Structure 1
Amino acid sequence: KQLIRSVSTFQCLPTRKFPLNNDWKSNRPLPITMIGDAAHLMSPFAGQGVNTGLLDALILSENLTNGEFTSIENAIENYEQQMFVYAKDTQDESTENETEMFSPNFSFQKLLNL
């Protein structure tokens, strides 16, 4: 609390991100896929980038080793179907938080009820 109260200005720096879409899927042959920031780069404003990448790794590794899928291609396709849903939700949350934080009326003190 003391740190936030002691800061009088907030320095804004540009963030790098790209929207989650299926464009990259059509430009590569199976059985190749992407995980983490390579698949769904997002701003840090939800604090979920690493967690999303770890979830990618968990789902993909389970799909490749659990014996449920008849081919690597099917395992990857299932992973990508799931990833495009949860990563989009996380990207949307991150974008909403970023928009709020860059608003002229934003205040960490108000956000944290200080």
Structure 2
Amino acid sequence: MRFAADGGTSAHAEASGNITIPCVALDDVLPRLRPDYIKLDIEGGEAMALRGMAKAIGRTRPHLAVSAYHRPDDLWTLPRLLRELAPYAKLFLRQHEANAFDTVLYGVPA
């Protein structure tokens, strides 16, 4: 995974980033993982991380709190992805700051 970081507050995952970070899918390295709550704020890598733990999500039906403001399309791609990976969950979107930063998509088991 490539990561753009210049020492400021705008660091994020990006294909043309200046740093390479080795990543693995949690489903591959922790096949028996049984989370009951998953919180992700990983600078634009949320969708990739969710896909990498799809089996664990399907197996344990955890509560989810996923940052939905790092990429412009997060507001519609992340809910679609959670609909696919966590059809058991009711989805809620909450903005925690007035400036649209810290917008979180919650998936709550119904």
The TM-score bracket by the shorter chain reads under 0.3
TM-score by length of 2: 0.24
TM-score by length of 1: 0.23
Structure with higher strand content: 2
Greater Cα radius of gyration, structure 1 or 2: 1
Structure number with greater CO (CA < 8 Å, separation at least 6) is 1
Structure with higher helix content: 1
